[in-house]
Structure formats: C-alpha cells, structure tokens
Structure 1
Amino acid sequence: MADTSSSSSAPTQVAAPPGGRLLAVAKRVAERALWTRVAVQRRWQGRGGGAPGAGRPVPTSVAPTGVLGDTQTWQRAADEARALGLPLHRDLPKNWDALGAVAAVLNLADDGSRTARVMDAGSARYSPVLPWLRLYGLGSAAGSLLGINLEFGRQVTRDGVVFRYGDVTSTGLPDAHLDAITCMSVIEHGVPIEGFIKESARVLRPGGVLVVSTDYDQSPPDTTGKMIYGSEVHIFSPAEITDLVALAERHGLELIGELDEATFAHAERPVHWKRVDLRYTFILLTFRKR
C-alpha cells in the first residue's frame, strides 16, 4: 500500500486491529497512560530551567548488535531502564531491544544536540522507543520524531511525536531525510525485507543508523499453522539473519558489530509468546549508512 503524509490523505479503510477489539482497547489504555507519564516527566524535567533529558545518562547495558541470550540479560536491561526513569514496556523482554535501539540512536545518530530526525518503522503508539527518545530531549522540531504503520488512519500527535499511516517499503519521505530508523519486532510479520532495506537506505543520510530487532532462534521451533496479524509466525534462523545482513550491505548499510557462531548462540529461550505458545529469543542489528 502507498504511503500518505497527512491526515487529509489517510486511507479510507484501515487495517483491522490485530488481536481483536478488546486487545485494541487495552493498547489504547496503555498508550494514554504512557504518554501522560511522558508529558508529566518532561514538565518536571523542565522545572529546573535546563533542557529536558539533558542530565539523563545514555543506556549502556545493550550492545548495538547481539542476541538476547538469557532471562538475566533482559532483566538487567529492564532494571537499567527503570533506573533511568524510562517507562517500561509491560512485555518486559521487549525493554532489552528498545534500550539497545535508544542507545544506538543517541550514541551513533545524534551529535549530542538531541536534534536527530528519527522514524520508528511499523510503530505502535504504546511502544517505548519514541517516548524514551522524547524523554531524552529529541523531538523538539516539528515532525522530527515519526512513527508509521499501515494500521494507522488519521494522523495523531503525542507530546510532539507524529504517528501516521505509512508503508515501511514506501515512506514518501525525501532522500537522506533521516538520521535514524528503528524497527522493533516488525519484519517477522510479512514485511517485504528487500523493499524495507532499500527504502531505509534511501531515506537515511550518509552516516545514518538503522536499528532492527526481530524474533530469532539458533534452531527455530516449528511455526506451521501458527497465525498472527494475518500471516504465519516467522522466527528468523542464523542463515536468514546472515542473508539479511548481506542484503543490507548490498544497499550500503554496514553492520555495526560482529555476528559469528558465538554471537548467534543463546543459552536460553527467554521469550515466551503466550498467544501462540512459542519460546525463542530476540536479535538486535544496527547498521550504518555508507
């Protein structure tokens, strides 16, 4: 589907909410609670007269590229996010890749001025990456923090962050427009991988950063017949991740960090998706645009 850039041109038919209406209501409640907390925290941060987020340390516990190896690792990430005053994702393992993505944006895509332009591809309004970046002071310029998703209809703004309908393979953004793209737990849901990588490379400036997380296992469980969000569940294997990294390289996106046999291994399967009763883990990949 083609991307649109404003509420007036939003699609007349929006994708049905995944998981049904009750889950959609729960997500809206989580969204409102999250953004209310962000607004309150930002007002409190600004009371001293300094720039919001200026004194908040950058996360350190999650490397730009790696595999979530065990439960202790995501617990450590959640503890760090809590200590930094960042509102946690209620699905606690997801705080691991979100913290890594935020650290990568702050360390690799922003020069310290907190003016980086960031898009969250396949975003959800209750996801932590954009709220956390807002708490670090990004998003002061209109439209500099953007979330797009094919499920979104009318454009919505939350504390300066714009959420609108958009296709991750055809964003409608100008060439070299963004400093960073994050894409958390999205590409496993039927996303055309080459189209996504090609579009990400197009809209990133030279030196810009793409951070991707996805479901992964060194020996993926059988997902035959397990459907979610309109497609069969997919858990990436080491060979598929290797192919993805090679594809990104062909489009001018260089992996930051190393992927080898030791990196691909994980002692546990610390993620349990109850709706489909599968255990696996996450992988986080960070690329820099040449």
Structure 2
Amino acid sequence: MESYGFEAIGTQWQVSTDVPVDTAAREAVAGLVAQYDAAFSRFRPDSALAPLARSGGTAVLPGYSAALLQLFDRLETLTQGKLNPLVGGSLEQLGYGPGYRLRPQGSPSAAPSWGSAASWRAAGPPDTVALTLDQPGTVDVGAAGKGQLVDLVWQLLTTRGYAAVVVDAGSDMRHSGQMGLRVALEHPYDAGAAIGVVELKDRALCASAANRRSWGNGLHHVLDASTGQPVDAVAATWVLAGDAMTADGLATALFLTDPALLAAEFSFDYVRMFSDGRAQFSDAMAGVLFS
C-alpha cells in the first residue's frame, strides 16, 4: 500500500491506496476537506454555520449534509435528547470553543432541543440543504461529522478507481480491499497499550474516548446535551459499521444510551469500556478483547 498524510479538522489523516494517489486526486481530496471545514467548523467565524450562533436563521450547506442531519435526527430521538448537535454552546460554556480558552465560562448548561429548535430541507441551488434555527444556537457536528468526512474522502478515491483504500482520520477509519487490516483498540487510560485487536475489512471502525479531548478535572468533549455535563460512566467506545458516519455517531451515542436501543435501528458491532474498567460488547466482538 502507498500512503500520504495531511492534517485537517484538528487531526492527522493517513490515506493508503493500492497505487500512489495522483496529483489531481490529492487536490480533489484537499478541496473536499476545505469545503467541509468551511461549512461545518464552529471554530471559524466565516463558516456557513457561524451566523446561526449569532442570530439563528438559515444556513445553506452542501447536499451531503442531508445524510448527516438525518442521522442526528434519529440519534437525538434514540438517546432522548442526550445526543444533540446544538451541544456546541454547552461545550463553549465549559471552555471548548473558538480560541480554545479551556476554562469554564460558568456552570454547565443544557443544549436547546434539536427537534424543537432546528429544521432542515433540500434547497436551491441544486444539491444544497437549508438548516434553520428559530433561535441562536451553536451547532457542533463532531458526534458524526469526522466520520462523514472519512466516508466522503473514501468515496472520492474509490470512484476514481482506487481499488484498495484505507482512510484513517485518527480514531475514525474506513477500509476497502482484498486484504484486511488489524487495528488495535487503544486503552483509554494508557495510549501505549491496547485492550484488544479487531480485523477491519470493507467496513468502518470509529472510536471515541473521553481522554482524547480533555482540558480539566472531569472536563472533556463528550457531553450529555440534556444537562451540559460531561459523561463520566463510560470511558471509551468502538463501533464497526458499514460506513464511518454511522459508526462515528453510534460511538458517541454509546456514551449516552443502551446499545440495545441503537441496535433496534442500526446494524453494528461494538465495544464500550466503562470508567471502572468493565467492558460491554456485542457477540461478534467477543473474541477481539484481551483477557
């Protein structure tokens, strides 16, 4: 496999393919990543979503946003409001916002209801989506957005004829090809250790861990949007699914709700590790954990 790397949306990316990625494809990947960041970043004052935080109203987003917003609709319902893209304001209240103050600005605050405050629809010009908030709100797509961008990069390369492709954006990966890939599940309390190894082939693997973005005692990026409080019962999750957007969203949702509720609507395999060291996993993952 041939590989090249780049940094984007706050993480290091590695793209591996059966033959070297040509210049035109690399430029197309860079353009896609730049478009995604310009649309969704809550750290940029010029992003498409930025005006919604100041005054509400309507933002025009790329057409692929529909799949992401539809997933958020489903996950907000399944988690009873605990997973909610309007959690961005709650994150900023705790210090995780533009400028990276990393100091709480006050007590935790619950996010507005996504189902009540937000609506979206296909819009013109063609292949765009209009997202409307009836009040100011900071949208954060981090629960599934990086996974969607992994999918979009993977799709761009596979449609250009690359047969074996691995797109790895930190904890989110998508694989295709004849040869599988063995991936270690990083221990959330020891980056140099693993709790198991999973075989990844023609699927996506996404992980989420409270220690990945933490900036103070008990402060990290996985919040219960209904309270604005960081989740403390679960330390890390891993999800295998058919695409990275779904795997990423479910990895976040597993911090917030019972896997059985998610399994009623989604097909996936998972491991979640609790803060006390216990592990819960789907039947297909029983053999991947170290004893």
Higher RCO structure (Cα 8 Å, ≥6 apart) = 1
- Structure that is richer in strand per residue: 2
Give your verdict on TM over 0.5: no
**TM-score, scaled relative to structure 1:** 0.30
**TM-score, scaled relative to structure 2:** 0.30
